[in-house]
Amino acid sequence: MVVPSNTSREAVLQLIEQKESIERKINDQGKILQTNHVGMKDPLVDENGYPRNDIDVYQVRQARHQIICLQNDLKAIMKQIEQGLHTVHAETAAQQRENLSSTKLQAMEVDGEGSSVIDGTGLISTGRATSAKPIAKVNVVSDGSPAQEAGIALRDEILEFGTVNASNFRDLSQIAVVVRNCENKSVPVKIRRDGNILELVLTPKPWNGRGLLGCNIVPMDHQ
């Protein structure tokens, strides 16, 4: 049996934390430029070629250098995140295929409380699990979108989105990272609908509408 590696998941989460740390550092250096009212390409000398006396030229140069280095680090770590997510998703997809094969399209009892079935849409239902904690919910699904193709429906509660679940969820930006880094790649998504848990496979990709999903995901407390 292929089981997604906890090590792979933890490595991706660590990379995401590093990415967020780099982004904070870039933001801090950007504040230095804002304080001096300059950007990355504004001249640091006056019309006579002398250093400008209305800014801290040394501080600005240092901030620009740090931003360039940090941006390069960010690009590198985003690539690592993409590769890590691809590994985790490949492992999860392999496990789902094994689960699909084992069901043989028949209902199976799960701890005497529910059943595991494959319905006419091809979705895998793992029965009732009222104790599962959702991290977000779907309040819009566009016709013809990747989300609709995957079987996502209005009012679905998201339990897992790729590597993001209740144990590591902080905010919706984590889901956005998965979407950005998994364009045209399979992302396992676990949802709860009418008390039943469904395991879907969503592929973020360009389509005729906005974004890569074609659905709107909001926090659980969103009205």
Place of tokens 């049996």: 1
CA angle 139, 142, 143 (to 5 degrees): 140
Higher pLDDT, 59 or 84: 59
Answer whether 197's CB lies under 8 Å from 125's CB: yes
Query: What's the pLDDT tens digit per position in 161-199?
Result: 988 888 888 889 999 989 988 888 889 999 999 889 999
Are 179 and 213 in contact, with CB atoms under 8 Å apart?
Answer: yes
The pLDDT value recorded for residue 78 is 87
pLDDT above 70: residue 2: no
pLDDT at 104 over 60: no
Mean pLDDT over each residue of the chain, to the nearest integer: 80
191: β partners: 158, 198
In this prediction, residue 87 carries a pLDDT of 78
Do the beta carbons of residue 148 and residue 178 sit within 8 Å?
Answer: no
